[in-house]
Chain A
């Protein structure tokens, strides 16, 4: 095992070295940090871009794991390097998501348990899961079909939503949209549970089109109203029983098994609606199918996926290509993700380090790089100042990405996380030299190279790695 790992690492490095000559950016060519003395004078690389190592397969694999999973331990990297890029993509796409352990708190009356329990539970699963691609996709959909625990007001529903999003993450947009619509947390979050045909609530109808499927400009205000009429009738599921909590007189609903919303015909509308250009009776499935028949839908989803996995500003021709494949497959998410991850654009030099890790990615990547399986509580509690708290997005638009993650406040918190995770990890650190190669591809800016060179112990070198601009990017 040790021998195999050594070989694959050397291969990774040799391949990285073979691609291009850096103008300004400095590479680490060997396994020791002493080579860093070749660092040019600070400032020599003003105006320089990163030099992409993506011409070599090992570097592409590392980028794949950075973007499509939640980072990697040395063993996970070795396994992927042995498999090669294509087999790794197959494995990511085809392995069914591993379920997190059941959460005992879910049967608390009214779902009134501390949200930190949920946050820590998910962070622990992100660290422990054998299928990190499923967690990355669950996080992606959590930011897309978003809800927050504050408005949902029942953390059992929030827990269920996370389970549902994971199970549906790699399936088909048609069935996903139905599951999203009848998800109890979503019924609360966007008010569909309180919408009546006699006076429909427009919240879900609008965001379903604006944020979940088509984007603004592709429907009218009348479509929002008529859609709200057609969607009315859904209610929260009936609880299994009722229970009470200390210091609370009234009893609260208790759910023992996961449920979805229920349809009440007497709250719904059975007449004709005119929605997205057609008139007639329309139920929820029909409304979803009408949305899927719109030309705007596949490019809207494809753009968001491209922005999260390839580049903040994807090319229109590329979007049209992957959106075409997505629609042709009847909105199969695996088809879309395969098209994205195996595209030329994914491996292009301009895609290299073109995305900023979200705070959750940054933290989980760091913990994995340090092989720190016990960082869940720290991760769950450290996202606030960086701008990302699980189950608590800023608004219905989910989290912004890339440059929006960077401000004076967030960079302090990112650096402070590096300090805390190292403090918690204690003395047994993996090799920082491996860290430079595997977490930073050996592609370093002059300042990072110089600081690594100046650092006198492993802890300091790991601090430089985790706090570096290179590590903030993916």
Chain B
């Protein structure tokens, strides 16, 4: 994919390599991480703003485990669904919130439905990729890297950070909220980004003295992890400072609640993560790419209650997030997109659940969206040899639209190729 690099980016990346002081030289880079954002680098980059300068923000919501597309966007009129899912189909069809004669949203997505009614939800149907893998980890990696051939190791958003944004010295350009580790989608050799599990506890016990000592302790650390450690500490320190300012300037204007009853409790506090995302966005921290996760979608067993609960949780959290952004006058800048490693098998199993599937719909939410259904309706009769839905839209088409049309990045440079156009944006920044 690097043969697609434009001349501007090439220069910049060469400069990037030459201009920074690495704690552990090439071995630190080989370990996979970027330079320590030092004062020199920051000064240089402040003067060299050749990356993206618009204010658009992307929030990716990972529905981890494989979200059941047929229970998210429910086919209302296909009798085949009841043959495939004798236990699951009845209630999901009866209770769905109709979008038209053919499709309805899961009944626990009333907030998304009202956004749909306002023209703020695009649903791309049948999103997948050729020769799907049914392994969570392989498919997650494919979605994270944007590369079904599995040669790419960097994340598609990480590459975007490295190539299109001035993230060095501005670690808050990319942020994973509600996580402890860097999500694969944001990982890149050259990108710096921050990770905040819980804003309330994000900071050094003992305050600025400890912070200063630790800053001195993690300087020019030797070894293969040296650059990574030094970068993480420098990023942490900068993030602490940014959060101090942002929390003083933010008042949530919606009710975020993680007090949800799930069949089994979630590891991810989605609402808190989105509230933090809102804070970072509305207080002008410069954040551009955000990633949050809701787990629990691997519904092999008693899917009915589990999936309904997750839909409700997603719905309340996203609704509060949108409302908060709108109240702060930022809704026009923010695109919310869901992703999941795969959908689930159209036929249910004996456990009242569904096994790993393939193609599934993807939700795009926000003011930048041109509401409606996109992509071909997946057929419940023309399944692939594994009994799964065939895809009609390559997931990279959606990425391309996000990168080029929403963020204004060079999608072809980042994805390595051009894909079919899916026109779900109201006013694309550039023609993708």
Q: With A50-B223, A195-B351, A201-B355 as known contacts, state yes or no: A385 contacts B265, CB within 8 Å.
A: no
Count of chain A residues near B, Cβ 8 A:
72
The answer to whether the Cβ of B135 comes within 8 Å of any Cβ in the partner chain is yes
The answer to whether the Cβ of A210 comes within 8 Å of any Cβ in the partner chain is yes
A224→B213 CA distance, assembly (Å) = 53
Stretch at the interface among A39-47, A170-178, A257-265: A39-47
Partner of B222, one of A50, A190, A385: A50
The answer to whether the Cβ of B374 comes within 8 Å of any Cβ in the partner chain is no
Chain A 195-214 against B: per-residue CB contact (8 Å), 1 yes, 0 no?
A: 11011111100100011000
Stretch at the interface among A270-278, A361-369, A425-433, A440-448: A440-448
A47→B31 CA distance, assembly (Å) = 13
Partner of A43, one of B219, B225, B264: B219
- Residues 229-253 of B contacting A (Cβ, < 8 Å): 229, 232-233, 235-236, 239-240
Q: Could you tell me if B223 and A49 are in contact, using CB atoms closer than 8 angstroms? A: yes
Q: Could you tell me if A206 and B134 are in contact, using CB atoms closer than 8 angstroms? A: yes
Q: For B134, give the chain A residue with the smallest CB separation.
A: A221
Q: With A49-B24, A385-B201 as known contacts, state yes or no: A447 contacts B225, CB within 8 Å.
A: no
Q: Shortest Cβ distance from A116 into chain B, in angstroms?
A: 13
Chain A 429-468 against B: per-residue CB contact (8 Å), 1 yes, 0 no?
A: 0000000000000000111101100000000000110011
The answer to whether the Cβ of B377 comes within 8 Å of any Cβ in the partner chain is no
Q: Which residues of chain A come closer than 8 Å to B348, judged between CB atoms? A: 199
Stretch at the interface among A294-302, A331-339, A395-403: A395-403
Chain A 360-391 against B: per-residue CB contact (8 Å), 1 yes, 0 no?
A: 00000000000000000000000011110000
Stretch at the interface among B191-199, B280-288, B364-372: B191-199
Q: Could you tell me if B217 and A206 are in contact, using CB atoms closer than 8 angstroms? A: no
Q: Could you tell me if A411 and B205 are in contact, using CB atoms closer than 8 angstroms? A: no
The answer to whether the Cβ of B82 comes within 8 Å of any Cβ in the partner chain is no
- Residues 406-438 of A contacting B (Cβ, < 8 Å): 406-413, 415-416, 419-420
Q: With A202-B356, A467-B214 as known contacts, state yes or no: A408 contacts B205, CB within 8 Å.
A: no
- Residues 387-422 of B contacting A (Cβ, < 8 Å): none
A447→B195 CA distance, assembly (Å) = 25
The answer to whether the Cβ of A183 comes within 8 Å of any Cβ in the partner chain is no
A356→B228 CA distance, assembly (Å) = 11
A13→B20 CA distance, assembly (Å) = 37
Most chain A CB within a 10 A radius of its CB, from B24, B219, B222, B240: B222
Stretch at the interface among B10-18, B96-104, B174-182: B174-182
The answer to whether the Cβ of B378 comes within 8 Å of any Cβ in the partner chain is no
Q: Could you tell me if A407 and B180 are in contact, using CB atoms closer than 8 angstroms? A: yes
The answer to whether the Cβ of B133 comes within 8 Å of any Cβ in the partner chain is yes
Q: Which residues of chain B come closer than 8 Å to A201, judged between CB atoms? A: 300-301, 349-351, 353, 355
Q: For A402, give the chain B residue with the smallest CB separation.
A: B225
Most chain A CB within a 10 A radius of its CB, from B25, B64, B176, B214: B214
Partner of A409, one of B196, B224, B350: B196
Most chain B CB within a 10 A radius of its CB, from A191, A199, A386, A411: A411
Q: Shortest Cβ distance from A394 into chain B, in angstroms?
A: 7
Partner of A395, one of B31, B176, B224, B295: B295
Q: Could you tell me if B180 and A446 are in contact, using CB atoms closer than 8 angstroms? A: no
- Residues 205-225 of B contacting A (Cβ, < 8 Å): 205-206, 210, 213-214, 216-225
Q: Which residues of chain B come closer than 8 Å to A239, judged between CB atoms? A: none
Q: Could you tell me if B205 and A416 are in contact, using CB atoms closer than 8 angstroms? A: yes
Q: With A42-B219, A191-B300, A196-B350 as known contacts, state yes or no: A408 contacts B228, CB within 8 Å.
A: no
The answer to whether the Cβ of A88 comes within 8 Å of any Cβ in the partner chain is no
The answer to whether the Cβ of B9 comes within 8 Å of any Cβ in the partner chain is no
Q: Which residues of chain B come closer than 8 Å to A84, judged between CB atoms? A: none
Partner of B220, one of A43, A211, A419: A43
A199→B228 CA distance, assembly (Å) = 48
Q: Could you tell me if A49 and B295 are in contact, using CB atoms closer than 8 angstroms? A: no
Q: With A42-B219, A354-B224 as known contacts, state yes or no: A400 contacts B301, CB within 8 Å.
A: no
Q: Which residues of chain A come closer than 8 Å to B349, judged between CB atoms? A: 195, 199-202
Interface size class of B (residues with CB under 8 A): 35 or more
A49→B223 CA distance, assembly (Å) = 4
Q: For A188, give the chain B residue with the smallest CB separation.
A: B301
Q: Which residues of chain A come closer than 8 Å to B213, judged between CB atoms? A: 451, 463-464, 467
Q: For B262, give the chain A residue with the smallest CB separation.
A: A150
Partner of A45, one of B181, B196, B220, B232: B220
Q: Could you tell me if A409 and B220 are in contact, using CB atoms closer than 8 angstroms? A: no
Q: Could you tell me if B267 and A394 are in contact, using CB atoms closer than 8 angstroms? A: yes
Q: With A201-B351, A406-B228 as known contacts, state yes or no: A153 contacts B217, CB within 8 Å.
A: no
Q: Which residues of chain A come closer than 8 Å to B239, judged between CB atoms? A: 408
A25→B23 CA distance, assembly (Å) = 13
Q: Could you tell me if B351 and A409 are in contact, using CB atoms closer than 8 angstroms? A: no
Q: Could you tell me if A210 and B180 are in contact, using CB atoms closer than 8 angstroms? A: no
Q: Could you tell me if B222 and A199 are in contact, using CB atoms closer than 8 angstroms? A: no
Chain B 113-140 against A: per-residue CB contact (8 Å), 1 yes, 0 no?
A: 0000000000000000000011111100
Q: Could you tell me if B206 and A419 are in contact, using CB atoms closer than 8 angstroms? A: yes
A395→B32 CA distance, assembly (Å) = 23
Q: Could you tell me if A412 and B138 are in contact, using CB atoms closer than 8 angstroms? A: no
Q: Could you tell me if A411 and B351 are in contact, using CB atoms closer than 8 angstroms? A: no
Q: For A48, give the chain B residue with the smallest CB separation.
A: B222
Q: With A406-B228, A412-B203 as known contacts, state yes or no: A447 contacts B22, CB within 8 Å.
A: no
A408→B27 CA distance, assembly (Å) = 20
Q: Could you tell me if B216 and A447 are in contact, using CB atoms closer than 8 angstroms? A: yes
Partner of B264, one of A151, A224, A397: A151
Q: With A47-B22, A407-B232, A409-B195 as known contacts, state yes or no: A191 contacts B217, CB within 8 Å.
A: no
Q: With A198-B350, A410-B181, A412-B236 as known contacts, state yes or no: A451 contacts B216, CB within 8 Å.
A: yes
The answer to whether the Cβ of B146 comes within 8 Å of any Cβ in the partner chain is no
Q: Which residues of chain A come closer than 8 Å to B65, judged between CB atoms? A: 395
Q: Shortest Cβ distance from B407 into chain A, in angstroms?
A: 23
Q: Could you tell me if B205 and A42 are in contact, using CB atoms closer than 8 angstroms? A: no
Q: Could you tell me if A386 and B180 are in contact, using CB atoms closer than 8 angstroms? A: yes
The answer to whether the Cβ of A353 comes within 8 Å of any Cβ in the partner chain is yes
Q: Could you tell me if B228 and A448 are in contact, using CB atoms closer than 8 angstroms? A: no
The answer to whether the Cβ of A268 comes within 8 Å of any Cβ in the partner chain is no
A411→B226 CA distance, assembly (Å) = 13
The answer to whether the Cβ of A472 comes within 8 Å of any Cβ in the partner chain is yes
Q: Which residues of chain A come closer than 8 Å to B267, judged between CB atoms? A: 150, 392, 394
A394→B213 CA distance, assembly (Å) = 32
A408→B171 CA distance, assembly (Å) = 10
Q: For B198, give the chain A residue with the smallest CB separation.
A: A385
A216→B137 CA distance, assembly (Å) = 9
Q: Which residues of chain B come closer than 8 Å to A56, judged between CB atoms? A: none
Q: With A385-B201, A446-B220 as known contacts, state yes or no: A202 contacts B355, CB within 8 Å.
A: yes
Q: Which residues of chain B come closer than 8 Å to A211, judged between CB atoms? A: 137
Q: Which residues of chain A come closer than 8 Å to B134, judged between CB atoms? A: 206, 221, 224
Given contacts A194-B350, A385-B180, 14 further A-B contacts (CB under 8 A): A191-B353, A195-B349, A201-B355, A203-B300, A394-B267, A404-B182, A408-B194, A408-B235, A409-B194, A409-B202, A445-B222, A447-B220, A450-B216, A464-B213
What are the 10 tightest A-B residue pairs by CB atom distance, in nearest-first order? A199-B350, A47-B25, A194-B351, A387-B180, A196-B350, A408-B236, A407-B195, A408-B235, A203-B300, A409-B195
Chain A residues engaging chain B, CB cutoff 8 angstroms: 24-25, 42-43, 45-50, 150-151, 153, 190-191, 194-196, 198-203, 206, 210-211, 216, 221, 224, 353-354, 356, 384-387, 392, 394-397, 400, 402-413, 415-416, 419-420, 445-448, 450-451, 463-464, 467-469, 472-473
A-B pairs with beta carbons under 8 Å apart, 8 shown: A46-B22, A195-B350, A354-B223, A385-B201, A409-B180, A409-B202, A412-B202, A416-B205
